[in-house]
């Protein structure tokens, strides 16, 4: 990495960049960000890397989900708690189904920027810049609102910090305590046979929790709280650069010669220093402390582009979105570029083909990666390849397509001796009406009831839980009797 620095990306061509009118205001905003404390710590990032290594080896499953595009207004207690509770509920179903630990990663506390297919749009005959996310410009359809404002980058930090502060406080205060009653709420399921299948899984999960409580196996931190890591697309490189900081070994860490000098001493100071030295500090390297996990989007994954250049120097675990336009050769080249040492689980490949295209592209990508010697985490994003518009122009996704792509991914990986290590979902813990279908039978006519997204349509809490049932049933089928899910 001698030819890399946090600023080397500026020498490369860039996609989805933002042009500001006031360079001095941009400079002032970035200088402010550089002085602010990290949002997450390198040790937390290392802990996630260890978890994702287990996922890549087939020993765990990763659940990643949250809003398509966070808004500053989402920084409130109810919305944060709704997401946490949904991720917990889904992960319980997945743990029961796969009989493996679940790594929880939320699209939260930083998922503000969004790539767009077109830099401009026309509203009521007026052409203006597209909405790029709350950390870039405003959603209101006026040229002034859509003007990029660098002060929003600083606002993004403080909203991320406030969100993360409450997330940590809620987790440490017992929001994820398994002793608390869980609202499985299957009343929305209108098909009796499907409801029966879901109820069977819920009963088994609750029976397992009841058994743990009865025999005293729940007297452990693991049933009172959980780890939830943060993630977002690393789109705004100026912002990410401000939080990319070199981690050195602590100055008071003992060298081997120092340790030998203290080894024969019985003083309390010596014992304390030896004890301190046993906790390994994070490896030396550059950590992007804006989030635990960041990913490169399908529109910014050019091997010689600025985003790949920036990401290849990070010590964070990173993701890469993989779409149908990616060739097998490009995929291997990307992996060789961002992970030349072939560190297991360092890279998460987030596949997003579409239900009608996954069978055409995924097998070739798996085969190429297997041949290359890389061992990434394979994660299915069944959302982005299945977006469509209704006749009236409302953007939506059909739950049947989402379910189909996820099920095909599970089957293709199993057939090729691979492992689908996780799913990546745009979801909300609220009862929105943005995706058609599901066990609740939402129709296109019903989309207007609570269509609240400012970008792409999200699964509501019931639809997201249904996907967890699907995956749980698939893996449970391998462990015991068939489940018909």
pTM for the model stands at 0.89
Residue 352 and residue 327 in contact, taking contact as beta carbons nearer than 8 Å: no
Residue-level pLDDT at 368 = 98
Residue 239 and residue 156 in contact, taking contact as beta carbons nearer than 8 Å: yes
Q: Is the dihedral of CA 32, 243, 332, 57 positive or negative?
A: negative
Which sequence spans correspond to the domains of the chain? Answer: 8-176+225-246+288-480
- What is the three-class DSSP state of 298? coil
Is 381 marked as a binding-site residue? no
Is 456 marked as a binding-site residue? yes
Is 352 marked as a binding-site residue? yes
Residue 348 and residue 376 in contact, taking contact as beta carbons nearer than 8 Å: yes
Q: What is the pLDDT along the chain (485 residues), one digit of tens a residue?
A: 779 999 999 999 999 999 999 999 999 999 999 999 999 999 999 999 999 999 999 999 999 999 999 999 999 999 999 899 889 889 988 988 888 999 999 999 999 999 988 999 999 999 999 999 999 999 999 999 999 999 999 999 999 999 999 999 998 888 877 666 566 666 666 667 777 777 777 787 778 777 777 777 665 555 556 899 999 999 999 999 999 999 876 444 434 443 333 333 333 333 333 333 345 778 889 999 999 999 999 999 999 999 999 999 999 999 999 999 999 999 999 999 999 999 999 999 999 999 999 999 999 999 999 999 999 999 999 999 999 999 989 999 999 999 999 999 999 999 999 999 999 999 998 889 999 998 888 999 999 999 999 889 999 988 998 899 888 888 887 655 444 44
Write out the H or E segment, with its range, that includes residue 232: strand 228-233
Choices 2.60.120.10, 3.40.50.720, 3.20.20.70, 3.90.1310.10: CATH for 8-176+225-246+288-480: 3.20.20.70
The C-alpha atoms of residue 45 and residue 50 are separated, in whole angstroms, by 9
- What is the three-class DSSP state of 122? strand
Is 107 marked as a binding-site residue? yes
Residue-level pLDDT at 252 = 42
Joined together, the tokens standing for residue 436 give 């058609």
Residue-level pLDDT at 58 = 95
Residue 64 and residue 106 in contact, taking contact as beta carbons nearer than 8 Å: yes
The C-alpha atoms of residue 140 and residue 145 are separated, in whole angstroms, by 6
Is 484 marked as a binding-site residue? no
Q: Which residue has the tokens 């966070």?
A: 70
The C-alpha atoms of residue 42 and residue 314 are separated, in whole angstroms, by 11
Which one-letter DSSP state was computed for residue 378?
E
The b-or-e profile of 186-216 (16+ CB within 10 A means b, else e) is eebbeeeebeebbeebbebbeeebeeeeeee
Q: How far is the CA of 27 from the CAs of 112, 135, 153, in angstroms?
A: 20, 16, 11
Residue-level pLDDT at 20 = 96
Is 321 marked as a binding-site residue? yes
Q: Which residues pair with 42 in a beta bridge?
A: none
Is 273 marked as a binding-site residue? no
């Amino acid at each position: 990495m001698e030819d890399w620095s946090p600023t080397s990306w500026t020498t490369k061509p860039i996609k989805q960049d933002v042009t500001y009118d006031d360079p001095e205001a941009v400079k002032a905003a970035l200088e402010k960000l550089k002085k602010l404390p990290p949002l997450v710590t390198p040790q937390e990032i290392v802990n996630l890397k260890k978890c994702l290594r287990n996922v890549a080896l087939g020993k765990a499953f990763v659940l990643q989900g949250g809003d398509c595009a966070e808004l500053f207004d989402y920084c409130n207690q109810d919305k944060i708690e709704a997401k946490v509770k949904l991720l917990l509920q889904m992960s319980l179903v997945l743990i029961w189904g796969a009989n493996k630990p679940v790594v929880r990663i939320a699209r939260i506390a930083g998922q503000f920027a969004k790539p767009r297919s077109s830099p401009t749009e026309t509203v009521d005959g007026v052409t203006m810049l597209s909405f790029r996310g709350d950390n870039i410009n405003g959603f209101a359809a006026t040229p002034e609102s859509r003007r990029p404002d660098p002060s929003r980058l600083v606002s993004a930090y403080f909203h991320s910090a406030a969100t993360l502060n409450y997330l940590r406080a809620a987790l440490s205060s017992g929001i994820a305590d398994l002793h608390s009653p869980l609202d499985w709420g299957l009343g929305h399921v209108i098909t009796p046979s499907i409801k029966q299948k879901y109820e069977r899984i819920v009963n088994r999960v609750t029976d397992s929790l009841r058994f743990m409580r009865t025999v005293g196996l729940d007297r452990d931190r693991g049933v009172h709280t959980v780890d939830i890591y943060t993630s977002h697309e690393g789109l705004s490189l100026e912002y990410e650069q401000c939080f990319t900081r070199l981690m050195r070994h602590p100055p008071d860490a003992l060298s081997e010669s120092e340790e030998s000098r203290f080894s024969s001493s019985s003083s309390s100071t010596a014992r304390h220093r030896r004890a301190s030295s046993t906790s390994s500090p994070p490896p030396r390297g550059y950590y992007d402390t804006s989030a635990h996990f960041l990913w490169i989007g399908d529109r910014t994954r050019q091997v010689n582009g600025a985003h790949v250049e920036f990401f290849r120097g990070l010590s964070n675990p990173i993701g890469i979105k993989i779409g149908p336009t990616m060739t097998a050769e490009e995929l291997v080249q990307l992996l060789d570029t961002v992970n030349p040492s072939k560190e297991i689980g360092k890279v998460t490949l987030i596949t997003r083909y579409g239900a009608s295209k996954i069978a055409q592209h995924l097998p070739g990508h798996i085969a190429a990666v297997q041949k290359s010697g890389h061992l990434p985490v394979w994660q299915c994003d069944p959302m982005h390849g299945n977006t469509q518009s209704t006749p009236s122009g409302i953007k939506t996704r059909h739950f049947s397509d989402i379910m189909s792509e996820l099920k095909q991914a599970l089957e293709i990986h199993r057939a090729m001796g691979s492992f689908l290590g996780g799913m990546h979902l745009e979801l909300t813990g609220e009862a929105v009406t943005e995706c058609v279908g599901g066990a609740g039978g939402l129709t296109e006519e019903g989309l207007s009831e609570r269509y609240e997204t400012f970008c792409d349509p999200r699964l509501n809490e019931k639809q997201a839980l249904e996907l967890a049932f699907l995956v749980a049933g698939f893996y449970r089928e391998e462990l015991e009797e068939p489940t018909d899910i």
